[in-house]
Structure 1
Amino acid sequence: MTETLSLQALNRATLARQMLLARQKLPVGEAVQLLFGMQAQEPKPPFLGLWTRVDGFQASDLHAALHDRSIVRATMMRATLHLMTAADYTAFRTAMQPMLHGALRVLGDRAKGLDLEKVVPAARSLLDGGPLTFNEVRAQLQERFPDVNDRALGYAVRLCVPLVMVPTQDRWSFPRTPQFTPAGTWLGEEPAADEAVDELVLRYLAAYGPASAADAQTWSGLASTGEALERLRPGLRVFTDDKGRELFDLPDAPRPGEDVPAPARFLPEFDSLVLAHADRRRVIADAHRPMLTTKNLRVRAVFLWDGFARGIWETEYKRKVAALRMRPFEPLPRAAVDELTAEGEALLRFLEPAAKETVVSVESS
């Protein structure tokens, strides 16, 4: 008989793999490898995501890894920017390409006249001359393809040319308008020719499992993950969730008991944990999901207490005072407020080391 895993069990299993049951003492590259990508739509959130997971993490650790090219920021899962180890990027970038080509559909009528067989080589030639911002890429391609929408040109290059973002000395390692360069030039190695979807799915399960075929597809954007799970089924553990859906997992992956304590934690905006499953109840209740995303599709920062998302948070820094405000979905017990306040004060000291005062508050829900 197939074992059924409760939401609490799924929560603890996923938190264990995401280093959210206890901070881990390990190098930043190893942490990013274990997390198998960190959503990086903006430069700052991955720094906070690593601080909340890695014991003793310093911003300089990630900054150095980006500059020594062992970690890259590039378009990957769901056609969005992620931090990946250089090894994982080269191993799995090709697996993303069918999804990335499919994402061009959002261009609609703006894709009129867009010929990838001409645009992609032209873009590669431009970028082989040195790093460029996408404003520069669009402008130069528009000169060559004047009848094609400039935004369509830029989007096609972003999705169809393997590029990485060039780090700078900015505080969070990237400026507002960054430069991009070909991945092969930056890393000295082109992405592998093999799509390696089966290995990608195994790495996903290691970082986010147990998970369903729908979960894997939601995380990656790839329709082929279900087929990969079927191929891999003989070597996997199979469970069901509380709704009878199949969940797959690595046989030896951690699945701690439901009663394992989960400490208070703050997740940054766009954190991959809240985006990695079709059924996200293992992290956030369905009733609270509408509050997770803004109208302009920003994914808000959430805080966890007893393992689950209990509200959103934001910070402000004025006159040497660093403030963190929590907006809980429902009233919090006193124990939660105390734990979150202590964790929030530590987070503020990381974010604003020059602050003379830190203030953590909870708004009425």
Structure 2
Amino acid sequence: MIQPCRSVTVAGLSGDSGKTLVALGLVAGWTKRGHRVAPFKKGPDYIDAAWLSLAAEAPCRNLDTFLMTDAAIHRTWDYCCQRSDVSVIEGNRGLFDGVDASGSHSTAELAKRLQSPVVLVVDATKVTATLAAIVLGVRKFDPSLMISGVVLNRVGGTRHETVARESIETHTDVKVLGAIPRVKGGGGKILPGRHLGLVTVDEHPRANTAIEMAASLVYDHVDIDALFDSLRGEDVPPGDDIRPQVSISTFPDPPQESDHPQVAERIVLPQHQVRSSSSAGEGGTADSPRIAVLRDSAFSFYYPENLEALRGEGAEIVTVDSLHDSALPENIHALYIGGGFPETHAAQIAENRQLLDAIRVAAENELPIYAECGGLMLLCESIEFDGQVSRM
């Protein structure tokens, strides 16, 4: 049973439609209004999720019907809905795009499962009345999908907006919620991108300013208060909030939906003595396992649920900066290196020989190390990027 929740799913007809801009604007705008916003990103995306976290001043969680069981989706959704005034899901790709021709595991499927109405962001570049045909096609393609309204993006001027708005509202039952003008220099001026999507929050030189610009653009051209009031759901009593990173392990266990055997006993990690660092730990007690986590602008791809689950099992999380810390924290039991863009920081990482040597010695001493994506690159002999080879 889905928790009743005031929510909206921001979707587009394709990538680069402006849905991230609109989602960030709604999240930041409602947060500034004093609403407790629970941000979500559809799919395993780390980068957009980090931007949504910054805008909401709260952790963004990922939802995906392919990678997660229904029980896991509902557990995460219900937990956040119980502690927020509104939830905002940013979709991915096109609204109906999934893993096959029928659109399985699409943004539309997720929105329907969570009973979350869709705000459709439509790129209006050099098109007017044809937008009505597109919106009508979306409505007829899946009549069971709740469409809360349309936001026109990259509108050329007042006449452009008027014709497009009148056409959509004449030929469909969908309301135009707003029209965002074309930004001089393109949307990349606010949210620059690269090969995996947007530039990460940690690497953007003015991330907070970018959030403010997105919020102002959406606030000035979309009636976010009317949209908020139109969303159905139950009001949440004041006092509880999603912002404290409460352990996800406090959730009730979902029904087992896997044939994988359950771990019969807790694994005890050996304690490894390594050199000390000034990094402070988060949570835990004197008897807790200490897990070092590389977390900085080079390594920023972490799901909050994973770190919360470790804390929930009693672990103390100690962060390490691969660019500036000269040693690993003392008395750690494991090292966790997530993904990111170490290639863009390779030269600076390579200069930090003390930390790299400490990691190598720890590995030789059989310290358990979990590294994925960019983290695995750090454990290689070298990284070659843009014609330059940096020794790891």
- TM-score scaled by structure 2? 0.27
Considering fraction of residues, name the structure with more strand.
2
- Rg (Cα) greater in structure: 2
Considering fraction of residues, name the structure with more helix.
1
Larger relative contact order (C-alpha < 8 A, sep ≥ 6)? Answer: 1
- TM-score scaled by structure 1? 0.28
